[in-house]
Structure 1
Amino acid sequence: MSKSLNVSNEDILYQIKISAQFPGLVEAIACRKIITDTAEKVGIKLELEELQQAADNLRLTNKLLKAEDTWAWLEKHHLSLDEFEALAYTNQLSNKLATHLFAEQVEPFFYEHQLDYAGAVTYEVILDDEDLALELFCALKENEISFQEIARQYIEEPEIRRAGGYRGIQRRQDFRPEIAAAVFAATPPQILKPIITPKGVHIILVEEIIEAKLNEQLRVKILADLFAVWLKQQIAELEIVTQLNCDRTQVALP
């Protein structure tokens, strides 16, 4: 026989508080209010076609390919159809406001920070012993051993070991500063002299440096980053007053 459990609004609010999620929740509410208020002030409105596209994107993001998938997802998240549309509306309004505020700033920002968006294809082995790292580095320079052989011997994680220490394409901010400086000064293909960090002694093969290009994917990322910074600035300037009742939370923004 199945058992039932009643969860009240008080229970939900209490759990949010004791799990230290309350500040994040309040900030999310503040963001939504800032977006809707600012969009209204600058005269941004959504057409029916835009709202439909936003709803389609939301379903696609959550892999809701069938009607029954959508209804199951709504039930899981305790959302009505109107609330689903409200979520899609807020998402699209946010995108449209970001474009309105920062679309013209994306290209200048990219060229000002172009070096930060360059990529590097690297392979890496991290050791605990500096002397061993120097010995292996010298052996690599003399072609006495291959990087793949070192990876097979000294990398513990199976997936990374099988990939020969491959770290994929990483941007400058993905590396520690001391490693980034060496990686992006390299002339690929190049083995870097061992670099010591708190994680250990790094032996790095720089296979390729990829110059930054302002494609659509990067344009969207920069736009989102600029908008996120703006939102944080807006929140920092607010005095957020929370009023807690037994069954609901109200956030009042001046």
Structure 2
Amino acid sequence: MTVVLRVGNRTITTKEIVSLLAGYQLLPRLLFELIVDDAIAPFTCTLEETQSAQQQFCEKNQLNSHTEIQTWLKRNGMTPEQLQTYAVRSLRIEKFQQATWGNQLESVFRSRKSEFDQVLFSLIKTDDLAVQELYFRIQEKETDFAALASQYSEDPSASNGGLIGPIHLSKCHPTLAKMLANSQPGQLWPPTRLGEWVAIVRLEKFISAQLDNLMRQRLLSELFATWLQEQFNEMGEICLFPVGIGE
């Protein structure tokens, strides 16, 4: 039986390797990577891009000399050619993502913008029947919002004067998110029921999401992850075939 891997005093044969991969739940990861390899096959890198990617890889892994690189290669069972392929792989994935979804990002962003918008707001959350009085005191500027929040709010933000955020609107209670999305900075909302609580809310700042480079990369990564999972699901069950005798 062919030995394909030696780790210390242990040898692993062709018959064992698949069983080990399955036992450690590494087969799905391997299949994901094979799907990626097929997808990025048409995308290549220039000599300059390759050299830059290798340099960045070495810097990230603190490989500062030829000796350290050779030691790393032996420890990871890789050849210099495999290291080069691995170093540029993320760049080739980026090229695939851009070619596949780059022209869709603006429409995707517009449809999901509300998920990324953030707000900074003040909150007093209580079941006290006197909440209406608190609202009027704030409205008439008799008492500072933060002081009343610290004294009366039953939300954890009370320790911070009721200030919450910045936080994504999508993470807020649906009623609260709708209120804040339709507010102007400084707008004070009268007592509003949020589930079993009653809340007084004031928007402090609305942070509108922008389709900048960071957002573009986030959307590309999400679209890629969704596509990759769909490709994996379409493959169906993983079928393992027995290794023949004498292999």
Shorter-chain TM-score range = 0.5 to 0.7
2:140 maps to 142
Number of positions where the alignment pairs a residue of Structure 1 with one of Structure 2: 220
1:39 maps to 40
1:89 maps to 88
2:225 equivalent to 1:224: no
Letter in 2 for 1:139: R
Q: Deviations over 1:65-94 (max 9, x none)?
A: 6749xx7xx98xx74675765553332232
For residues 1-254 of structure 1, the aligned pairs below 5 Å read 22=25, 25-40=26-41, 43-55=42-54, 67=64, 79=76, 87-127=86-126, 129-131=127-129, 133-153=131-151, 154=153, 163-192=160-189, 193-197=191-195, 201-241=198-238, 243=240
SS of aligned partner of 1:101: helix
SS of aligned partner of 1:186: coil
Taking structure 1 as reference, are residues 106 and 56 closer, same or farther at Cα in structure 2, changes over 3 Å only? farther
2:114, 2:170 within 8 Å by CA — same for their partners in 1?
no
Q: Deviations over 1:3-59 (max 9, x none)?
A: xxx99999xx99x96xxx83xx5543333221111122xx11233433444455557
Q: Which ranges in structure 1 are unaligned for 5 or more consecutive residues?
A: 1-5, 246-254
Taking structure 1 as reference, are residues 130 and 234 closer, same or farther at Cα in structure 2, changes over 3 Å only? farther
How far, CA to CA, are the matches of 1:8 and 1:144 in structure 2?
Answer: 79
How far, CA to CA, are the matches of 2:199 and 2:84 in structure 1?
Answer: 50
Letter in 2 for 1:233: E
How far, CA to CA, are the matches of 2:132 and 2:112 in structure 1?
Answer: 34
How far, CA to CA, are the matches of 2:138 and 2:11 in structure 1?
Answer: 65
Taking structure 1 as reference, are residues 118 and 49 closer, same or farther at Cα in structure 2, changes over 3 Å only? same
Taking structure 1 as reference, are residues 142 and 91 closer, same or farther at Cα in structure 2, changes over 3 Å only? same
